[in-house]
Structure 1
Amino acid sequence: MSDVVTLQGYLGTWAAEDDTRKAVAAAVERMAQAGVAIADMVARGPLAEHFARIRGEDANAAGDAQKELDVIAEEAIVSALKAAPVAFLGSEESETPIPLNAAGTLVVAVDPLDGSSNIDTNVSIGTIYSVLPYSAEAFPDPVEALKQKGTAQLASGFLVYGPSTLLVSTVGAGTQVFVLDRASGDFILARATVEVPAATKEYGINQSNIRHWAAPMRAYIEDCLAGKDGPRGKDFNMRWVGSMVADAFRIFTRGGVYLYPGDSRKGYGEGRLRLIYEANPVAFLVEQAQGAATDGKTRILDIVPQKLHQRIPLVFGSREEVEKIASYY
């Protein structure tokens, strides 16, 4: 077992004596630690029935129904990051940035519990995070620090709470997968280099909404459905979990493309996923794994956030298919 590489060991080697990298490594390690605590809570399932309960009549800062475990997950992350050089935490669950360490050189954006609507159905859910540089001089308002373009990210990742607890991580040196070893409590490197296949015959979308989509998205899906007899000349499979971290991990494992377009329904015109908390971190991971991520046309990492809880359409996965989708617009 001498060749086992832990998350701490991997990050320590990557960071070496660089102060910025050491700060990033500390933040990622603390996010992983929070993930262990959240995974334990998720694993209680029906034994903690109140976790799936919606909190009153209120929605979270992003306008979604807020469950008890959403809030508990955020609290676990806040507690963990207090031991890292993180000045502020931006969370999908909170209206404004949460202050942590005044001397911190980083800000972190999180979706504490992605896919929480699936808690009571025992579907894999997860935590998504993004790490960005910060200084009080450059960003007197911490909101502006969180609104940096995706290209400014120093690290990003997501945890999946499923049959195993996984961390998909990048610090800008490719994308790696770590798995939680319950015996030791360590995250162990399982895949040192993740590469999303460039081509695919698999797509993931909630096709029941096809009547609400704009013409380019409808045309793309209709061409896929036509299979080898249509203009694409090949048959496609469709996969859709409805929990983005689960759908994303499938794509990191075997390729494919994920689509969550905007549509004509009230509140869906600009998409439903958050640019800062979901799209940017996943886009960074995908690009580091040789894939691509767009809003249908424009590279996600080039989009300047205008609002803290801004929503956006999202397409990511196998590069050739993402580029093909853009050609429909």
Structure 2
Amino acid sequence: MPEINVTEHLLLNQKRTPMARGRLTHLLNQLILSFKIISREVSKAGLVDVLGFTGEINVQGEEVKKLDEFSNDVLIHRMSRAGVLCAMASEENESIIEIPKGFPTGDYVLIFDPLDGSSNIEANINIGTIFSILRRKSSADGDCEMSDLLQQGVEQVAAGYCIYGSSTMLVMTTGSGVHGFTLDPSVGEFLLSHPDLKIPERGKIYSINEGYTSYWDDATKEVVNWFKDPSANDLGKPYSSRYIGSLVADFHRTLLYGGIFLYPSDRRDPKKPKGKLRLLSEANPLAMVVEQSWGLATDGADRILEVEPSELHQRVPLVIGSPHEVEIVRNIYKKHGY
């Protein structure tokens, strides 16, 4: 059977969907080219001067890594020239990224985390790019508005991530299932390797940073104890604990093996009462992927994709994974009044 590359797969899906438009396929192809460029730099990061800090602080108050900056610049440069976007937003930029004057624009909005897990770069741990695509709501006659970016996750037309590690893999959905493509460096193409991904109904792994236990509320402590206590959970033995500290890597494992990933709110930082993860650039795209693979994503109580955004860098708790485990967590939080 001949191998199918990602472009062929997108074109086949476009033909099957009467309302599909070639401009979305073009947008995704430009994104894919950006991922190839980033993957190339990640693979040789230890050989060139792209490791370490730039000395700058991003909008989140975090030091910016050189590879972060490179990835952000690649995405902004390539996607500004794609001719299909009216605006972008990045985790690294405080406000809307407008399309430069003189370049054609389009009907889509791109929101992305250019290099998730960058604190793990020097340790050679998986890192990745997360993306969300929305269709603009404002009039095409004027500039993009903030309301075009502040849309609920249910409005996404495509979402996914590209994970860079022992291999480079693109996982994405355009609203009709989730498919994984692995980059074959010998031909320079993403080839379909994981068609129609489905997360297991239940798993045996929970993933959370237990170093923050003292900052959690009673509900979160009960949740984690449920996974650890064989007399409490219905597995009859403790769940295995796995935590990488790179969201895209922890989520990717959860998608393939089942189980649950949690990043709850905590009391560590009064400036971040809702936790660390960003709704628009991290939680929403991964929530779309997991729901399209028959999983669930909540903030502990409510569906992530229905959270109403109020600001560009809004943070949200995230409970995501197999339906069985997510429902268990939701019931425990509900008991505590969430």
Q: TM-score range by the shorter chain?
A: over 0.9
> Are 1:282 and 2:286 an aligned pair?
yes
- Partners of 1:247 and 1:159 lie apart in 2 by 13
Name the counterpart of 1:91. Answer: 90
Q: Does 1:225 align with 2:228?
A: yes
Give the CA deviation at 1:211: 1.1
Q: In structure 2, what is the equivalent of residue 59 of structure 1?
A: 57
Aligned with 1:110 (options 105, 112, 129): 112
1:31 equivalent to 2:31? Answer yes
Paired AA for residue 5 in structure 2: T
CA distance in 1, matches of 2:138, 2:154: 20
Give the structure 1 partner of residue 125 of structure 2: 123
CA separation in 2, counterparts of 1:167 and 1:231? 34
Partner deviation per Cα, 1:294-319 (whole Å, 9 max, x = no partner): 11111000001111011111110101
Maintained 8 Å contact 1:24/1:131: no
The residue number in structure 2 matching 1:155 is 158
User: In structure 2, what residue type is equivalent to 1:7?
Assistant: V
1:154 alignment partner, SS class: strand
Q: CA RMSD in A?
A: 1.7
| Equivalent residues in 2 for 1:285-324, closer than 5 Å | 285-324=289-328
Per the TM alignment, residue 79 of structure 1 is displaced from its structure 2 partner at its CA by 2.5
Instruction: Kindly state the Cα deviation for residue 321 of structure 1 after the two structures are TM-superposed.
Output: 0.6
- Cα pair 2:167 2:182 within 8 Å, conserved: yes
Cα separation, 2, equivalents of 1:59 and 1:143: 24
Q: 2:74 aligned with 1:76, yes or no?
A: yes
1:26–1:84 contact (8 Å) kept in structure 2: no
Q: Which residue in 1 is equivalent to 2:196? A: 193
Q: Provide the rounded CA distance (Å) in 2 between the counterparts of 1:278 and 1:77.
A: 16
- For 2:43 and 2:227, how far apart are their aligned partners in 1? 37
**Post-superposition offset of 1:276:** 0.3
Distance in 2 between residues matched to 1:294 and 1:19, nearest whole Å:
30
1:93 deviation in Å? 0.7
Number of positions where the alignment pairs a residue of Structure 1 with one of Structure 2: 325
> In the alignment, is the contact (CA less than 8 A) between 1:45 and 1:122 conserved in 2?
no
Cα separation, 2, equivalents of 1:196 and 1:47: 37
Partner amino acid for 1:109?
Answer: I
State the Cα deviation string for residues 69-100 of structure 1 (Å, max 9, x = none).
Answer: 11110111122222241121111111122223
- Paired amino acid for 1:288: Q
3-state SS, counterpart of residue 128 of structure 2: strand
Secondary structure of 1:312's counterpart equals coil
| Contact 2:83–2:104, Cα closer than 8 Å, also in 1 | no
Q: Tell me, yes or no, if the aligned pair for 1:106 and 1:135 is still in contact at 8 Å.
A: no
- Percent same amino acid at aligned positions? 35
Q: How does 1:131-150 map to 2 (within 5 A)?
A: 131-137=133-139, 141-150=144-153
Name the CA shift for 1:112/1:231 in 2 (closer, same or farther; >3 Å). closer
**Distance of aligned partners of 1:120 and 1:231 in 2 relative to their CA distance in 1, 3 Å threshold:** closer
In structure 1, distance between residues paired with 2:221 and 2:132: 32
User: Deviation per CA, 1:234-292, whole angstroms, max 9, x where unpaired?
Assistant: 32101011111111111121111000111011134211010000000000000000000
Check the 8 A contact 1:96/1:143 in 2, yes or no: no
Q: Distance in 1 between matches of 2:168 and 2:131?
A: 16
- The Cα offsets for residues 167-219 of structure 1, whole Å up to 9 and x where unpaired, read as 00100010000001111111100111111011122100111111111111100
Structure 2 SS opposite 1:315: strand
> In 2, Cα distance between the equivalents of 1:136 and 1:223?
46
Structure 2 segments unaligned to the other structure (5+ residues): 334-338
Give the aligned partner of residue 6 of structure 1: 5
Quote how far apart the aligned CAs of 1:60 are.
1.2
Deviation at residue 59 of structure 1 after TM alignment: 2.2
Query: Which shows bigger deviation, 23-32 or 148-157?
Result: 23-32
2:210 is the counterpart of 1:212: no
CA contact (8 A) 1:196 1:290 kept: yes
Q: 1:135 offset after TM fit, Å?
A: 5.0
In 2: Cα distance, 1:280 partner to 1:196 partner = 17
SS at match of 2:76: helix
Q: Is the 8 A contact 1:23 1:85 kept in 2?
A: yes
Name the counterpart of 2:336: none
